[in-house]
Structure formats: C-alpha cells, structure tokens
Amino acid sequence: MRNIPVRFFQTMAISQKQVLSLQQKLSPQQIQMIKLLELPTVQLEQRIKQEIEENIVLEEEERAPEEGAEPKEISVEEYLREDDTPAYKMRMNNFSRDDKQRPVYLTEGRSLQEYLVEQLGYRNLSEREMRLATYLVGSIDEDGYLRRELESVADDIAFTLGVETSTEELERLLAVIHELEPAGVGARNLQECLLLQINQLPMHSSVRRLARKILTVHFDEFVKKHYERLIARLQITEEEFREAIAEIKRLAPKPGNLYAEGGTNTTPYIIPDFLLDYQEGRFQLSLNSYNVPDVKVNRRYVEMIRDMVGADGKVREEDKEALQFVKSKIDSAKWFISAIKQRHDTLMRTMQTILDYQQEYFRTGDRAKLRPMILKDIADRTGLDVSTISRVVNSKYVQTQFGIILLKSLFSEAMQTASGEEVSSYEIKTLLQRCIDEEDKRHPLTDETLMNMLNDHGYCIARRTVAKYREMLDIPVARLRKQI
C-alpha cells in the first residue's frame, strides 16, 4: 500500500463586518405610481377596470348627471294621444307568408389572401400545388409583397405541412400568383412589382415601351434620379422621357393597397389626455376623464370589518384570516385611489406649466411662435423631477382649437441667432421647409446652399445641422428631389 502525503492548507478565517452604504430602492407602490403616470387616457381606463375586477373592495362610482341633462317630463296625455297616421302605413307588406326569416350575418369582406386563394381555385392546379400556392399566398404581406426568401419558405413548408418542395417548384407557383389580381402582387422587390404591372398593359405606344425599358435595363439610374445620364444613354428628348416617367408613376408601388374589400383599418384613433379651450382671451384646461370611471371603496366591506371587531376591540379566532384579507384589500384600494388622484394632480400641474410657458403658441397654433423648451425648464418651474416630466409628456396629447397636439412635439432645442436671440428649432425648420418648397426642382438646393441661405437669415447653423433637420422633416437629399 502506497503512502499518500498529507498536505496542510492554511484555511481562511470566517469573519463578519458591517458595511454602511446608501442604496435607492423603489417600493412596489412607487413602481405602480410610475406606471400609472405613464399611461395615456385609453390605457388608464383599462387599468382601472382591471383593478376593479381584481380588487373586490373597489367599485365604480356613479357620476352625477350633468347640468341641463335631466330628461324632459312627458305628460300622460302625450302617451295616450292618438296618432293621426293610419295603421296600414306603419306595416310592411313586401313579403309573403311562405318567406322564412333568415339571420343577417355581418362580415368585413374577404382579405387579400382570401381573394388570392379564390383566384387560385380557378387555376388548373393539383392538390399539392394548391397547398403550396396557398402557403405562398399566406406569406404575402399587406403591401402585396413576398419579402421572404423561397428557401426559408420551403423550410417552413417542410416543417409545418410535412411536404418536401424545392425553390424551383415554388418559383413556378409564384409565377402563377404573379398573374393574379391586383397586378404586381407577390413581387419580391419594387422593380419586379412595377414590371409585373407594366407587362400586363398592352404595349401599343412607344411611351409604354420606353417606360418598360427604363424599368428593365436602367432601374438603378431611374431610382437614383440620374435623369441627364438616362436621357443621353437612351438618346431621347426630355419630353419623351417626361412622358415615360409619368407612365411609370401611374403604377402602384404597393399593390396590396389596391384591394380594400377586407382590408384592416390601421388608422390610429387618438384620444386626447387634456382638453384646452380658448375663448374670449382666456384658457380653460381640463383633464379628459370622460370614459375614465371614478372608483370608491365599497362601504359594505368597511362595515364588515366593524362587525368582526367586538365591543371589547378583540377579533374572534375564526374571523382573523377574513379580517386580514379584507383589510389588505381596503388598504390596496385606498392606495390605488390616492395614486389616481396624485396622477391627476401631476398631469394638470405639468400641463398648466407648459400652457403658461407656450401661451403665444396655444393662442394661434403657429409653430414658429414656439419658445425653446426642454424638460428641465418645466421641471424647474413645477418642482418635479425631469424623469417625472418625461413620463408625463410621453404619449400624451392635448386637444386645442387648431387640432390635437403631441406634448412631446412642443419641446425643442434652443438655437442662437446672429444677434444673440434664442429661437426654437421649429422656426428654423419652418424656414428650411419653405426654402425647399420654393426651390427649382430641376436644380434642387444642396445642404450647403441651404446652410448659406439660413445663415443669411441670421440663423448660424452648420451643414450637418441642416441635414439633420431635413431628415427630421422627411425630406430627401437634393439628388432625389430632382424633377424633369
């Protein structure tokens, strides 16, 4: 037996020591308060209804009827008064006794995919081809494009349908989809989409043949608006080129939008959080709480606690658990009501400060009269933290006499003029937009030229700032604004 040497290790002593440190932690109530502050009016209504469902102590408080909304009293004589209209005029006789009453079904119409699948049913396709083509149709987005690679579609078909297919087979079926209506559906890029549409038109004129040639051979130059180069390469006149461009502009870049029978309505509906009325030189600001329910604690549970507590102030052993449950729910309900009130006060306090700061703008609606304003300006005036102001103005809207305004859009950085005066960046953007609108579209103004024009007006800004403001206004560069 071999002797194994024993090694002794020096062990570290275990010791305890106190360390004093400062840490900021938010309580669950504070976190909930922050979340309530961020919610717009629509989501607040849903949050209150959710709290009413979860907390049995909370209940919706009935609102008192508005002044002037009392129903008009109607006398009994008015009910008993005979109508002079003959009875036969009150009946419909355009049906027979054999007619059966059928239910009326309300539908939104067919979707684009259902419309395409219906057209595939008129094609001579096998059962396998129909399944594959239907899957391809399901991959087409709302704009009418197939934005996925056929290899990935083939992998998904093998995984979901259990059918092995190839990109060549899918390519043949996609060519069938390209023949369906609306024209251009199923295209994988803009060039293919426009070519599918123009190829379905009769080529009875030289203008259409020229437009097809531009889209087929010179698409990159056309997109980049290298018009002089195209005119020289095609050896045509400006008038012929202008007519060809007009023919291309008649095509639809998003063919899916042409089908509207069962389309989804994605238009956002904005419900303002604040209502601002301006009459006779006076502002009247209010919080939009029309659909937001008022909540209160149900008095029945408060009386239940009083009944559980005896005259000697003691609680029976079998009632302790129920008492603790009801008490926790009442405390939670009281805190929630207090949080809603605190949210109301914070929102009104912030909005009133913004109104006082931007009175000239709210009187006229002229964005050029917006004063430079950042979050810290409002935070200093209200005494609130900058993060609180940021949460208040985020996703909140105010309804004014000139439209619904996003509060966040009222904040802008300050720019200094040549005379030392501070102006809002909106004023510079308005002037920049006007300069671009009035430019010669055959020779658009470059960012450097726009910078010089703004400097001549007294706004000392750099070329990169002009480019930033132009992008914020969603205005392309000079080359892409060029027109013939």
Which among 382, 410, 438 is the end of a domain?
A: 410
297 and 398 fall within a common domain: yes
209 and 128 fall within a common domain: yes
Residue 106 domain flag: no
Residue 10 domain flag: no
Domain tally, the chain: 3
pLDDT, one tens digit per residue, over 77-127 is 554 454 555 554 444 454 455 545 455 444 456 788 888 999 998 888 899
Please give the model's pTM, rounded to 2 decimal places: 0.56
**3-class secondary structure, 228:** helix
**Cα separations in angstroms, 29 against 47, 332, 392, 479:** 15, 9, 18, 55
Residue 78 domain flag: no
pLDDT (0 to 100) of residue 353: 92
Residue 177 domain flag: yes
Residue 7 domain flag: no
pLDDT (0 to 100) of residue 145: 92
The chain-wide mean pLDDT, for the chain, equals 80
Residue 9 domain flag: no
3-state helix, strand, coil in the chain (%, to 5): 50, 10, 40
Backbone phi and psi for residue 282, each to the nearest 5 degrees, phi listed first:
-125, 140
- Top pLDDT among 365 and 80 is at 365
pLDDT at 13 over 70: no
User: 227-234 and 206-217 are packed helices; what angle lies between their axes, rounded to 10 degrees?
Assistant: 120
122 and 249 fall within a common domain: yes
Per-residue exposure over 111-128, b if at least 16 CB sit within 10 Å of its own CB, e if not: ebbebbbebbeeeebeee
146 and 181 fall within a common domain: yes
332 and 424 fall within a common domain: no
Percent of the chain with pLDDT over 90: 13
pLDDT (0 to 100) of residue 468: 87
pLDDT (0 to 100) of residue 185: 92
Residue 26 in tokens: 């938010």
396 and 439 fall within a common domain: no
pLDDT (0 to 100) of residue 266: 47
Q: What confidence tier does 36 reach under pLDDT thresholds 50, 70, 90?
A: confident
339 and 422 fall within a common domain: no
pLDDT at 5 over 60: no
Residue 463 domain flag: yes
Residue 81 domain flag: no
pLDDT (0 to 100) of residue 268: 58
Query: Could you tell me the residue range of the domain that residue 329 belongs to?
Result: 274-410
406 and 426 fall within a common domain: no
Q: What confidence tier does 420 reach under pLDDT thresholds 50, 70, 90?
A: low
Q: What confidence tier does 189 reach under pLDDT thresholds 50, 70, 90?
A: very high
